[in-house]
Amino acid sequence: MRGRTAGTAWILASGAVAITLLSAAGAHAEGRGDIRVTKTVVNGGNNVIIGTSARVTYPIAITIRDDSGVKGLSDISVFNKTNGWGFSDWVGTRCERKSSTTSVCTATMTVAPDWLPGSVPEDVNRTAGVWQVNATVKANDGDYWISDHIAEFKMKRASKLTTNAAPEPVAKGATLTVTGKLSRANWEDLKYHGYPWQEVKLQFKKAGTASYTTVKTVKTGDTGQLSTKVTATSAGSWRWYFPGTTTTARVVSAGDAIALK
């Protein structure tokens, strides 16, 4: 643990080394008695996506079992699985008793982007990717369990995507140029920058229909720009779709409706 900076807990993986050295089968753990974590779900199974301004709050629901009943959650930490750096402030816990032996304790975590610039000795963008959860749980009879790596989730950089199709309107059979730009949040300067060399799908929805279909895949240029030419065969809407990566969120642009003349 590096301590606390700007109201958030900054975690270094070495803080969990003592736990790792005392590993058990499954999640690395140490403790006393029969209390165990049986299930952990982060953010309802969804990625945690951080942009450049809005504070993000997400839950971690931990199912805990002990023959004497569950007293609660006494510690929780989250950090990048590879480099050990992480950020999230633990702001509260609510435990719901499911039976005499089992409870679900949900920790509320929060992240404010303005905490991030310069927060770690390296580029904080490198903390995006696969994260893990560590927790300490306690039972009514004094049993406790310190669990390392009880769950994984992805902490991702938010992304943006634009679309413009021209000319408008276009003659049937004429060439239509569809452009756009893919950008993603930079956690060092809290701005969006173009995301280069990424495959993005161009999709079309014919006027009067309900769904988009993929027409082709185009790779972004060195500043995240997109441009391709298609033949206008019918009126409808064009959009770009980026499926996301391990570090960057999925995003779909708004559709640009084109009429035929």
Can you read off the two tokens belonging to residue 186? 């930079």
Note whether 102 and 120 are same-domain residues: yes
Note whether 26 and 134 are same-domain residues: yes
Final residue of a domain: which of 90, 121, 156?
156
Instruction: Of 168, 191, 181, 167, give the one whose Cα is nearest residue 220.
Output: 181
Final residue of a domain: which of 139, 156, 173?
156
Note whether 12 and 102 are same-domain residues: yes
Note whether 220 and 177 are same-domain residues: yes
Determine the Cα angle at 185 with ends 184 and 190, to 5°.
Answer: 150
Note whether 141 and 192 are same-domain residues: no
Hey, what amino acid is at 188? E
pLDDT for residue 180: 98
pLDDT for residue 29: 64
Which residues, including other chains, have CB under 8 Å from residue 173's CB and lie 6 or more apart? 231, 232, 233
Note whether 217 and 193 are same-domain residues: yes
Q: List Cα–Cα distances, 151 to 42, 122, 228, in angstroms.
A: 8, 25, 41
pLDDT for residue 22: 25
Query: How many domains does the chain fold into?
Result: 2
Q: List Cα–Cα distances, 134 to 110, 122, 224, in angstroms.
A: 16, 23, 36
Q: pLDDT tens across 168-177, in order?
A: 999 999 999 9
Low-confidence ranges of the chain (pLDDT < 70): 1-29
Note whether 105 and 220 are same-domain residues: no
DSSP structural state of residue 17: H
pLDDT for residue 142: 96
Instruction: Of 201, 203, 200, give the one whose Cα is nearest residue 239.
Output: 203
pLDDT for residue 8: 42
Domain that holds residue 181: 159-258
Which position has the token pair 């930079």? 186
Note whether 230 and 138 are same-domain residues: no
Residue 163: CATH number of its domain: 2.60.40.730
Q: What percent of the chain has pLDDT over 90?
A: 85
Note whether 15 and 136 are same-domain residues: yes
Final residue of a domain: which of 156, 189, 223?
156
Note whether 98 and 176 are same-domain residues: no
Q: pLDDT tens across 37-81, in order?
A: 999 999 999 999 999 999 999 999 999 999 999 999 999 999 999
pTM for the complete prediction?
0.87
Note whether 171 and 142 are same-domain residues: no
pLDDT for residue 233: 95
Which residues, including other chains, have CB under 8 Å from residue 97's CB and lie 6 or more apart? 69, 70, 103
Which residues, including other chains, have CB under 8 Å from residue 21's CB and lie 6 or more apart? none
Q: List Cα–Cα distances, 252 to 126, 157, 201, 220, in angstroms.
A: 24, 15, 10, 15
Note whether 166 and 84 are same-domain residues: no
